[in-house]
């Protein structure tokens, strides 16, 4: 017997097991251990009471986890991860979960629903479009070995690494909008997992920064002062290249031309692209309440 309900009382180990099965053959390999997923979902502000799963004889066979945040335009829910275990694919389970979830999200005050999906994942894109989500932009991901030759000019700059995350120190250097997992609030919640690299010019003025996870070489945030010299930027990446064999930079907006050009110049390759998808939940409270009652029957 199939049942769709929230994940508010479901153990993390149960959810992690389902995620591991669902992503065994996915485009990108992931660490689906409860410890790794629990840490990531903590930073992603997952609200398990507003996350949902499909159960078959008490086995979790499909899931939809939402991070929830208060934005300047109201409450926002972001699809952190959704999937179906291989034995239950082809049954439109994600669409069925959304049909149950949308009324609950509306009555909970969520105004906007968002997600990111790899551009090659056409089946998922179609499923999301069927429930009302629409493309709203593209994010580009980069990975590779840094290739930045040492230059004499670098000697006049100072690179400092701090074992902390200080958004107030670097926020004026931000050049693009950070995605959900890389948002300042998300990084701050997992600050112990990051280190911040700072680059100062000859006048000891802070010119740029990179927030990186030393466990995997993944840069979550990157930015430079407006008008910063190109060799200052290159110096920062040269310093990183002396510590990290490979670097990953996730979810750069497609229109962040200067940052994209820089990443390519230091040797990184654009290996994956993702669509941002969005849906506005605008039902009034009376309609939302009736929809929720119908959905929970």
**Per-residue pLDDT at 28:** 67
Sheet bearing 218-224, strands edge to edge: 2-6, 52-56, 59-71, 74-84, 110-118, 269-280, 134-144, 247-253, 218-224, 206-213, 195-200, 158-162
pTM equals 0.89
The pLDDT tens digits for 106-161 are: 999 999 999 999 999 999 999 999 999 999 999 999 999 999 999 999 999 999 99
Q: Where are the domains positioned within the chain?
A: 2-138+277-295, 146-266
Strand positions, DSSP E, 184-226 = 195-200, 206-213, 218-224
What's the CATH number for 146-266?
Answer: 3.40.630.30
**Per-residue pLDDT at 297:** 47
- The architecture of the domain spanning 2-138+277-295 is 3-Layer(aba) Sandwich (3.40)
Across the chain, which has 297 residues, the per-10-residue mean pLDDT values are 93 96 80 91 96 96 96 89 95 96 96 96 93 96 96 95 93 95 94 96 97 96 96 97 95 96 97 96 54 46
**Per-residue pLDDT at 181:** 94
């Amino acid at each position: 017997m199939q049942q769709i309900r929230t994940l508010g009382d479901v153990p993390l180990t149960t959810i992690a097991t389902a995620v591991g099965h669902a992503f065994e053959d996915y485009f990108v390999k992931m660490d689906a251990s409860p410890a790794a997923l629990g840490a990531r979902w903590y930073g992603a502000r997952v609200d398990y009471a507003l996350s949902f799963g499909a159960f078959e004889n008490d086995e979790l066979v499909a899931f939809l986890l939402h991070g929830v945040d208060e934005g300047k335009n109201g409450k926002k829910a972001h699809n952190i991860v959704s999937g179906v275990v291989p034995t239950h694919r082809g049954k439109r389970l994600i669409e069925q979960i959304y049909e149950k979830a949308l009324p609950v999200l509306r009555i909970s005050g969520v105004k906007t629903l968002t997600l990111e999906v790899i551009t090659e994942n056409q089946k998922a894109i179609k499923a999301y479009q069927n429930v009302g989500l629409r493309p709203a932009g593209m994010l580009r991901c980069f990975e590779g070995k840094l290739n930045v030759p040492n230059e004499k000019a670098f000697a006049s700059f100072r690179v400092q690494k701090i074992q902390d995350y200080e958004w107030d120190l670097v926020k004026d250097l931000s050049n693009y909008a950070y995605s959900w997992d890389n948002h300042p609030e998300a990084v701050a919640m997992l600050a112990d997992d990051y280190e911040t690299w700072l680059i100062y010019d000859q006048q000891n003025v802070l010119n740029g920064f990179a927030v990186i996870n030393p466990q995997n070489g993944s840069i979550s945030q990157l930015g430079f002062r407006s008008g910063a010299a190109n060799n200052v930027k290159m110096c920062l990446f040269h310093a990183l290249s002396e510590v990290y064999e490979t670097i990953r930079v996730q979810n750069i907006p497609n229109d962040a031309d200067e940052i994209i050009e820089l990443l390519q110049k230091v040797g990184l390759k654009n290996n994956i692209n993702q669509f941002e998808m969005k849906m506005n939940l605008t039902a009034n409270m009376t309609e939302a309440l009736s929809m929720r009652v119908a959905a929970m029957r």
